[in-house]
């Protein structure tokens, strides 16, 4: 049992992340509420700057918003203070990489548009220092993103996307036609898979 107050509004990001990694769901939820606007801004920026790519891949704002939430989830469970970078910077990079990855993956097998279209590599949200860019490996976050996409079952991916969008267990169960207990079991499996993956890939 934790003796820490359920009111985490005054807690730092780093404290909340440690609690979330330890299994405190309310701390995880607090992080998502704190960073929801950041995810929205990222999704809107990519929609605006890469309209042609997104249209070609049939990706809308909600799609990128959910992918950004997946990036935030990966940031929570892969963040380590010893990397000497703030969680805010790390999370922003993970969110951006996650959204960029889904756009690239969705257009990979299609004809690449040409004629004045902005390259997917021409935008970075947010601006970061060179030191932070070295610490936060785009390749590393891409690997974790690929893990989420390949190791989660179709049901688990559907559940986590709805859950990260703030939908209740009850509403998720109704949307997917499964029991609330199955929703909870799926989320626990996802956390277990993430934990095992991160333990196996710690540097």
Residues of the chain with pLDDT under 50: 1-5, 113-118, 120, 122-136
The pLDDT of residue 35 is 93
Locate all alpha helices (DSSP H) within 108-166, ordered by sequence. Answer: 130-135, 138-151, 154-164
The pLDDT of residue 117 is 47
The pLDDT of residue 141 is 57
- Name 54's Cβ contacts closer than 8 Å, sequence gap at least 6: 46, 47, 60, 64, 103
Q: Thinking of the domain 152-203, which architecture would CATH place it in?
A: Orthogonal Bundle (1.10)
Going from N- to C-terminal start, the domains of the chain cover: 13-138, 152-203
Residue labelled with tokens 């000497």? 84
CA 191, distance to chain mean position in Å, is 13
The pLDDT of residue 6 is 61
The pLDDT of residue 196 is 75
The pLDDT of residue 51 is 84
The pLDDT of residue 149 is 73
Nearest partner of 167 among 39, 69, 41, judged by Cα? 69
The pLDDT of residue 55 is 83
The pLDDT of residue 144 is 64
């Amino acid at each position: 049992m934790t003796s820490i107050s359920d009111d985490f509004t005054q807690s730092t990001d780093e404290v909340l992340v440690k609690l979330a990694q330890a299994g405190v769901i309310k701390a995880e939820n607090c992080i998502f509420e704190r960073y929801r606007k950041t995810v929205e801004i990222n999704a809107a920026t990519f929609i605006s700057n890469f309209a042609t790519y997104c249209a070609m891949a049939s990706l809308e704002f909600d799609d990128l918003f959910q992918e950004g939430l997946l990036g935030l989830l990966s940031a929570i469970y892969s963040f380590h203070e010893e990397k000497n970078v703030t969680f805010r910077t790390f999370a922003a990079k993970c969110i951006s990489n996650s959204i960029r990855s889904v756009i690239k993956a969705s257009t990979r097998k299609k004809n690449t548009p040409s004629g004045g279209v902005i390259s997917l590599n021409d935008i970075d949200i947010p601006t970061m220092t060179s030191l932070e860019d070295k610490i936060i490996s785009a390749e590393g976050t891409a690997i974790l993103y690929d893990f989420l996409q390949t190791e989660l079952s179709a049901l688990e991916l559907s559940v986590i996307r709805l859950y990260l969008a703030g939908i209740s267990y009850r509403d998720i169960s109704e949307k997917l036609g499964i029991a609330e207990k199955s929703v909870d079991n799926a989320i626990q499996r996802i956390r277990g898979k993430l934990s095992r993956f991160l333990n196996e890939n710690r540097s």
